[in-house]
Amino acid sequence: MITQHKITLPPMPRGFHLITDRISRSQDRLPKMGMMNIFIQHTSAGITINENADPTVRRDFEGAFNRLAPENHPDYTHTFEGSDDMPAHIKSTLAGNSITIPITDHRLNLGTWQGIYLCEFRNHGGPRKLIITIYQ
């Protein structure tokens, strides 16, 4: 059986935000066993899994991504949506637009130190839509 629904996250500031609890709370009950796919419907934000305990990891990600795709780079030609737009597209490609997580015993089977991140790459990105598909 496959189920699917959409959740909308409120606008968040630029950065890496743990959303594991929001994802878990959006589900009535997970199956005993299966897979959850989370897809973000945006080209200037991403979704990933990484360290969930130390907030300095999220700050370091922000710094590293900004060095990889800096604002106002002279080679950018897609600039009419603001100086943060083209770097956001590059960063979203690097982070990715979907993740898949195993479900075991009605719970997301993440590792001890793993959390789900919304990677917001725009200064004012607005609400973000996620499609959650559960395969059981």
The enclosing domain of 34 has a CATH number of 2.60.120.460
Low-confidence ranges of the chain (pLDDT < 70): none
Read off the pLDDT of residues 8-37 as tens digits, 9 standing for 90 and up. Answer: 999 999 999 999 999 999 998 999 999 999
Query: How many domains is the chain built from?
Result: 1
Read off the pLDDT of residues 64-73 as tens digits, 9 standing for 90 and up. Answer: 999 999 999 9
Could you tell me the two tokens for 36?
A: 């959850």
Instruction: Kindly give, in sequence order, each residue whose CB lies less than 8 Å from that of residue 112, ignoring residues fewer than 6 positions away.
Output: none
Domain limits for position 25:
2-135
The DSSP 8-state label assigned to residue 29 in this structure reads -
Write down the pLDDT at residue 28.
87
Find out whether 130 and 17 touch, Cβ atoms under 8 Å. no
Write down the pLDDT at residue 75.
95
